[in-house]
Chain A
Amino acid sequence: MDFGFTPEQEMIRGQAAEFFRRECPTAVVRGLMEGERAHSEQMWRKMAELGWMGLVFPEEFGGAGLSMVELSIVLEEMGRVLAPGTYFSTVVLGGLLLQSAASAEQKRRWLTPICEGELKATLALYEEHECPGPEGIRVRAENIDGGFAISGKKFFVPDAEVADLIICAAKTNSAEDRVTLFAVDRKLDGVNITPLRTMDQTRSLYEVSFESVRVDESCVIGSEGGAWPVIGRALDLAAVGLSAQMVGGARSVLEMCVEFLKTREQFGRKIGSFQSLQHRSADMLLLTESAKSAVYAASCAASDDAPDLPVLASIAKAYSSEAYVWIAGEGIQLHGGMGFTWEHDVHLYYKRACADASTLGDATHHRRRLAGLIGLG
């Protein structure tokens, strides 16, 4: 057992940290926030050139064949700068789902272009009523000649306007009420995309409605009706990935606070010498380090295909969600009036923290799930 990073992993972290520091400073983030889609094609290209799109995917499909540990490292560094863009949707939501659900031929069709930076994807899972189980899926795919016609509405679909491929979870008549995944080309007739206005402007969310969108059978990812277990695993991986981003954000807020506490003076002394602020900073570090431990352990479980992945994913998501929201909230408080301004970055982290905390299951949801997994109730 060696619960520390290898020199190669440290190198990836160093490279990612340097990349985002250079390519994604606050000015860039704020510029993208003001834009329509919170996505930069230029940054996307550069990330693809570095090989990050295919980081975790097998070499036979054009990836680098690395593990969830390396992916979490890159995601953590992205979270540190609040990097906008479709990386999470494409690689974590779309790519990892294709990786576990799609046939080899489908992987060549969609995963390889993702690895090459030629295709962007997203996942259309949630609907009007928040419900984590398959019962929540009401979008239907009617059997028609040679394929399906999909109808219904999805909410909270990230990056739908830039994704080339929307992976949609729907129920078909032929597979009774079980869930099937469809690969839907965004440009097909009947796909209507409406932006949602969000508190966290560093990410774009959409309502996607499907009006009798026709797809052929080759667009069924994996087997008809067999999607739910695969979705479950993909959501665990996504929860780990999102938690890694949250850890990165928490680290940034803490760094920001420590810097401010060391320079700002009141009552003739640095405010960082006031014990109540010192103690809150110490608690911020404790929460950040503990969230790291949870994310790294879950990432290891994912890369080992360990049976305790669901437990560790829920631990990571529940803990990081509460830690990040608390830390970012304290971040505002420690900065005083400055912390309440649009100009200061800390509110961007607070808003991202709140958004992340509610995404892919909040802390209460993951604790409820854990209770079941560890034999309560």
Chain B
Amino acid sequence: MDLKYTPEEERFRNEVREWLQANLPAERPEVSESENMDEWMAFLRNWQRKLSDAGWAGIAWPKEYGGRGAGVNEQLIFTEEMARAKAPNLMNVSIGIELVGPALMHHGAEAQRRRYLPKILSAEEVWCQGFSEPGAGSDLASLQTRAVIDGDRFIVTGQKVWTSWAEYSDHCILLVRTDASAPRHKGISCLLVDMRSPGITVRPTRQITGETEFSEVFFDGVAVPRENLVGEINGGWGVAMTVLMHERGTSAIGYQIRLRSELDELMELAKRIEKNGRPASADPLIQQKLAQSFIEVEILKYNIYRSATQIARNGSPGPESSIIKLFWSEMDRRQKEVAMELMGLRSQLVRGSKGAVDHGRWQRAFLWSRAGTIYAGSSEIQRNIIAERVLGLPRG
């Protein structure tokens, strides 16, 4: 057991740091994804092109698909250095890089990997994830969107909901039912769908923050080439499981880093905000709460490190990745509740209002923290998985 980085890892860290110093754009649009989305996307695409040209996107991906062929630790180091430099994150990480990547690497055909993976890294193509449906959320296996084989193509009909980034996506990794008579888990397939195909309608859905990050997506007789099937026909559940496991595991390092830098900023905020005639940071109860958040965010990091070592040794995150998902999403909520408490009456004020603290960003982050315990498997679902699959309790 050794928490120190090896000399090679330190060399890698220096290389990343130097490259970032030399290449990080000095000017960037104000970070507001909701308001000037197009400008922001154009900026991100440029930035990511630069990163991928220099071989920094997809650190742990094989070289033949545009990656660097390095290990999990290098991925952690890279993510940490990006955060330290306050560099804008890669685009579409949470879906393209972290979900579609592993899905294709584990289950995809060689031609699919060569066709799609490099363009994820270069941000030429953005992806969305079409899993949830109006009748199939936590109970994903009950999904109804149908795909029937018609010669050398599938014809897809149905509806997806809560599809993040759908408006901006080039492709969708889609779960469909291909055999209605088979047991639920055995009649599902996974398709790669061009979002510009005729018959697709995207209707944005307004969220509690007022944003429209997700959409409803309707499929009306959409033709998908047969070669876009991932893995076996009716083998989609295995692909979905790979995706969900990655969605819940070490990819959480990105969340950890965000939560840590938000905590640092909250501590600064506590020094600026005055309560009862002194800085809030001098209030013992506030100190206790911020210190607790610090404890949690640091432990999250070490939970992820342990899991990374597990992956480096055994190749894949186990159902234990549910612990990490549960931990970060719940602690995010607690942290943002502290932010609201710090702001007191001003916690009511949103972006654009006179007197809003830090342009309303904490208030927005507070609302967003309610999403993490729902998407990628709700907290209840994670606890079910931990109880039944990790602890081996009898099924409920």
Which residues of A are interface residues toward B (Cβ below 8 A)? 1-6, 9, 69, 254, 258, 261-262, 269-270, 272-275, 277-279, 281-283, 285-286, 289-290, 292-294, 296-297, 299-301, 304, 306, 311-312, 315, 318-319, 364, 367-368, 370-371, 374-377
Contacts and interface: CB of A to CB of B under 8 A. Distances in A.
B287 A4 contact: no
Contacts of A312: 298
Nearest to B2: A2
B391 A1 contact: no
B202 to A, nearest CB: 36
B326 A286 contact: yes
Interface stretch (B58-66, B157-165, B229-237, B307-315): B307-315
A4 B73 CA distance: 13
B318 to A, nearest CB: 12
A289 B2 CA distance: 18
24 contacts: A1-B5, A3-B3, A5-B1, A254-B391, A258-B393, A261-B393, A273-B395, A275-B396, A277-B393, A278-B396, A279-B387, A281-B386, A282-B387, A286-B386, A311-B298, A315-B295, A315-B298, A364-B288, A367-B291, A367-B295, A370-B294, A374-B294, A376-B287, A377-B281
B180 interface: no
Interface string B30-41: 000000000000
Contacts of B309: 1-4
Contacts, number: 161
Given A4-B310, A278-B383, A286-B326, A304 B393 contact: no
A262 B3 CA distance: 37
Interface of B: 1-6, 9, 73, 76, 267, 270-271, 281-282, 284, 287-288, 290-292, 294-295, 298-300, 302-303, 305-306, 308-310, 312-313, 320, 323, 326-327, 380, 382-384, 386-388, 390-396
B292 to A, nearest CB: 6
Contact of A368 (B1, B4, B287, B396): B287
A252 to B, nearest CB: 14
B310 to A, nearest CB: 7
- The interface residues of chain A, by DSSP majority, are classed as helix
B391 A281 contact: yes
Which of B3, B270, B271, B384 has the most chain A CB atoms closer than 10 A to its own CB? Answer: B3
A294 B304 CA distance: 12
A377 B384 contact: no
B162 to A, nearest CB: 24
Contacts of A367: 287-288, 291-292, 295
Given A289-B323, A367-B291, A374-B291, A262 B4 contact: no
B217 to A, nearest CB: 32
A9 B380 CA distance: 35
Given A296-B302, A376-B290, A377-B287, 16 more contacts: A1-B76, A258-B392, A262-B392, A272-B387, A275-B396, A278-B384, A279-B387, A285-B390, A285-B391, A290-B327, A294-B295, A296-B306, A297-B305, A371-B288, A375-B267, A376-B287
